[in-house]
């Protein structure tokens, strides 16, 4: 949840409007009632995204507004952090007590049995970065501006010969309201932008509002970071940025934070991660680390698969962007089939340590009329069920997903891009119906939205079962490609376009499930028979000469029994599956 949006009940929603007009959620608005509802739904952790003080166009006492040239949106990007040791004063009823109000929220979360995760944004900071809480740890203090790279500089500094026609730094905001395209501190020197852009004139498509941090490796020299210190290096021997970031992690751990979602973790040397995670776990052995990372990004600092490298460096989980991309590709022009998921189920350790999601703040909303085939909130059922049930890794739900928040229209900087804005003061039109004036009871939701939220709750609670928390995965599509009764539509010569099925089984308890999803947006599937091959029956540890019973657990009501010997050939017959539906069937010998 982004606190700015989560409990903001102001429904003005004026385009590009300030806080005073559109309102802003507060830490105190995330009440016991809100947390109790989330706990009952089955959640274990709350990711409080964007809580750090960020560069912003809003002034507070002793905290002037930042110039608009270095902002994206009036509220500013949560990923352009101005002080790693502070929280955003927008989120406090009394800005002078903002850290105390954050600590109170963390305590409320813990009282409800919910652990607290926050962002750790290691790659870049706001151009206006300065820590009021710990000024001696402000990035850039004492840097040598006359060199592009020095091991103990915090930033990379532009040289006169770099693209963009030399100083001053020329931002792409020139001509916008109140903007000059200049930022006074970077008149005589300039710094590399957060997305590794070495230019005196970054473009509007660059992370121009941020500055790249230096971890003791010159990224222009390639990906070999083996010259950096080992995981057991003493603090006084590591690059200066390492020490500052270790202080950041330690600070938030002391304030009650249980874990961190690391932003763009693949752009940071693996040596730093080994060192930092090791030190964080020395302070709290249960500290949780999840990496947002993409192996297809040329900026990755790893020659091998960077997701595997991050897990080896100590992360508990890594983003599963590839599975998300296949599912989104079922509904866009890329022409994906459900069968394309199979190739992603043979990724070794990574498969069961992937954090899976159907939405997050960077991705489009499932219910957007412009995305996911324009099918509305119902598309979230098969997509979320398959994503969540595939592996043992953590699962993530983005606030608003469970009530079909569509992100329609433009709020400000982000435009009308099917994403809920993270740059502007705003409130979520459908989600506020659940917030219902701070009651958090869904009192204004439609019957369809209440049913959808109830469905998500059943799904999430089902994910606590041993077959999903501890179980192995066995895909069934490969055994059904030649099966004409596996959701094959007219004109198709193979099965597995819209239907996907797999098994999960926990060897310790023996619990087993079969998950079957119909991704088709308009067509019900009739006469489905899912073949379970002989090898799968042996994998399940079930008697191939006996009978198996099947019972639907997500919707309840359907049950069947069949001789095991018939399953590899005739397959288990299922009831008709409506468009955009899923069955989660428990198996018993």
Q: Please, which pLDDT band fits residue 560 given cuts at 50, 70 and 90?
A: very high
Q: Are 414 and 8 in contact, with CB atoms under 8 Å apart?
A: no
Q: Write out pLDDT tens, residues 493-527.
A: 999 999 999 999 999 999 999 999 999 999 999 99
Q: From CA 214, how far away is CA 151, in angstroms rounded?
A: 8
Number of helices and strands (H, E) in the chain? 13, 19
Q: How would you classify the pairing of strands 115-120 and 45-48?
A: parallel
How many whole angstroms from its chain centre is CA 454? 22
> Is the confidence at residue 544, as pLDDT, over 90?
no
Looking at the chain, the whole-number percentage of residues with pLDDT higher than 70 is: 100
| Distance between CA atoms of residues 118 and 86, nearest Å | 13
pLDDT digits (tens, 9 = 90+) for 205-239: 999 999 999 999 999 999 999 999 999 999 999 99
The span from the CA of 115 to the CA of 95, in Å, is 25
Q: Which residues pair with 213 in a beta bridge?
A: 155
Q: What is the pLDDT of residue 419?
A: 98
pLDDT in tens, 289-347: 999 999 999 999 999 999 999 999 999 999 999 999 999 999 998 999 999 999 999 99
What tokens does 164 get? 């963009």
DSSP H helices, 355-465, are: 380-389, 431-435, 447-462
Q: Is the pLDDT of residue 21 over 80?
A: yes
Q: What is the pLDDT of residue 394?
A: 98
How far apart (Å, rounded) are the C-alpha atoms in residues 266 and 280? 19
Cα 283 from Cα 276, distance rounded (Å): 11
Report d(CA 317, CA 355) in Å as an integer. 6
SS3 of 24-41: the string is CCCHHHCCHHHHHHHHHH
pLDDT recorded at residue 556: 83
Q: What is the pLDDT of residue 23?
A: 98
Q: Are 171 and 178 in contact (CB under 8 A)?
A: no
Residue 520 near residue 572 (C-beta atoms within 8 A): no
Asked whether 155 and 166 are in contact (CB, 8 A), the reply is no
* Best CA proximity match to 519, nearest among 333, 319, 339: 339
CA-CA-CA-CA dihedral for 109, 110, 113, 117, to nearest 10 = 70
Question: Is the per-residue pLDDT at 473 higher than 80?
Answer: yes
Percentage helix, strand, coil, to 5, in the chain?
30, 15, 55
**The pLDDT value given to residue 137:** 97
> What are the sequence ranges of the domains in the chain?
3-139+320-462, 471-588
Among residues 99, 218, 107, which one has the least CA distance to residue 157? 218
Q: Mean of the pLDDT values across residues 6-29?
A: 97
pLDDT at residue number 254: 98
Q: How far is residue 383's CA from residue 326's CA, in Å, rounded to a whole number? A: 10
Residue 81 pLDDT: 98
Q: Is 471-588 in CATH node 2.60.40.1180? A: yes
Helix axes 380-389, 447-462, angle to 10 degrees: 10
Which CATH superfamily does the domain covering 3-139+320-462 fall into? Glycosidases (3.20.20.80)
Q: What does the alpha-carbon distance between residue 510 and residue 173 come to, in Å, rounded to a whole number?
A: 60
According to DSSP, the β-strands at 259-262 and 115-120 are parallel
Residue identified by tokens 């500290």 is: 287
Model confidence band, residue 581 (pLDDT cutoffs 50, 70, 90): very high
Q: Please state, rounded to an integer, the average pLDDT across all residues of the chain.
A: 97
Q: For residues 193-214, give the mean pLDDT.
A: 98
């Amino acid at each position: 949840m982004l606190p700015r949006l989560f409990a903001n009940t102001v429904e003005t929603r004026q385009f590009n409007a300030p806080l005073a007009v559109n309102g802003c959620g507060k830490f105190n608005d995330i009440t016991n009632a809100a947390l109790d509802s989330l706990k009952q739904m089955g959640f274990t952790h709350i990711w409080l995204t964007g809580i750090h003080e960020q560069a912003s166009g809003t002034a507070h006492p002793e905290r002037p507004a930042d110039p608009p040239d270095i902002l994206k949106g009036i509220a500013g990007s949560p990923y352009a952090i101005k002080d790693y040791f502070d929280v955003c004063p927008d989120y406090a009823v009394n800005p002078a007590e903002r850290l105390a109000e954050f600590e109170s929220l963390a305590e409320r979360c813990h009282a409800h049995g919910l652990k607290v995760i926050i962002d750790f944004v290691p790659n870049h900071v706001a151009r206006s970065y300065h820590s009021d809480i710990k000024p001696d740890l402000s990035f850039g203090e004492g840097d040598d501006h006359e060199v592009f790279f020095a091991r103990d500089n915090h930033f990379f500094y532009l040289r006169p010969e770099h693209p963009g026609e030399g100083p001053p730094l020329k931002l792409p905001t020139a001509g916008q309201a109140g903007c000059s395209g200049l930022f006074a501190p970077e008149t005589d020197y300039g710094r590399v932008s957060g997305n590794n852009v070495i230019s005196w004139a970054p473009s509007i498509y660059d992370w121009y509002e941020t500055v790249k941090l230096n971890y003791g490796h010159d990224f222009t020299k390639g990906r070999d970071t083996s010259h950096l210190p080992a995981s057991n290096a003493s603090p006084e021997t590591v690059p200066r940025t390492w020490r500052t970031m270790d202080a950041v992690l330690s600070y938030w751990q002391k304030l009650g934070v249980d874990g961190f979602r690391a932003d763009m973790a693949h752009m940071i040397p693996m040596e730093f991660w080994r060192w930092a995670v090791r030190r964080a776990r020395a302070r709290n052995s249960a500290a949780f680390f999840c990496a947002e990372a993409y192996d297809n990004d040329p900026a990755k600092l790893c020659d091998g698969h960077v997701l595997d490298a991050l897990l080896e460096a100590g992360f508990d989980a890594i983003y599963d962007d590839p599975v998300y991309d296949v599912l989104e590709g079922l509904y866009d022009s890329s022409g994906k089939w459900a069968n394309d998921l199979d190739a992603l189920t043979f990724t070794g350790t990574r498969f069961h340590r992937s954090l899976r999601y159907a939405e997050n703040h960077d991705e489009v909303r499932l219910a957007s009329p412009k995305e996911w085939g324009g099918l509305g909130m119902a598309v979230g059922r098969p997509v979320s069920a398959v994503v969540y049930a595939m592996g043992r890794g953590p699962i993530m739900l983005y606030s608003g997903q469970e009530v079909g928040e569509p992100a329609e229209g433009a709020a400000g900087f982000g435009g009308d891009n099917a994403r809920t804005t993270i740059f502007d003061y705003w409130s979520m039109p459908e989600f506020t119906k659940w917030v219902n004036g701070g009651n958090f009871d869904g009192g204004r939701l439609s019957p369809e939205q209440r049913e959808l939220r109830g469905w998500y709750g059943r799904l999430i609670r089902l994910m606590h079962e041993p077959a999903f928390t501890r179980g192995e995965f066995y895909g069934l599509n490969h055994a059904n490609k030649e099966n004409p009764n596996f959701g094959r539509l007219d004109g198709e010569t193979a099965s597995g376009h819209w239907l996907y099925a797999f098994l999960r089984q926990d060897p310790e308890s023996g619990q087993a499930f079969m998950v079957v999803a119909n991704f088709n947006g308009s067509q019900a599937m009739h006469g489905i028979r899912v073949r379970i091959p002989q090898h799968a029956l042996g994998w399940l540890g079930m008697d191939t000469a006996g009978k198996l019973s099947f019972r639907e657990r997500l919707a309840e009501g359907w049950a069947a029994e069949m001789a095991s010997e018939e399953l590899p050939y005739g397959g288990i017959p299922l009831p008709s599956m409506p468009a955009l539906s899923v069955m989660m069937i428990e198996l018993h010998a």
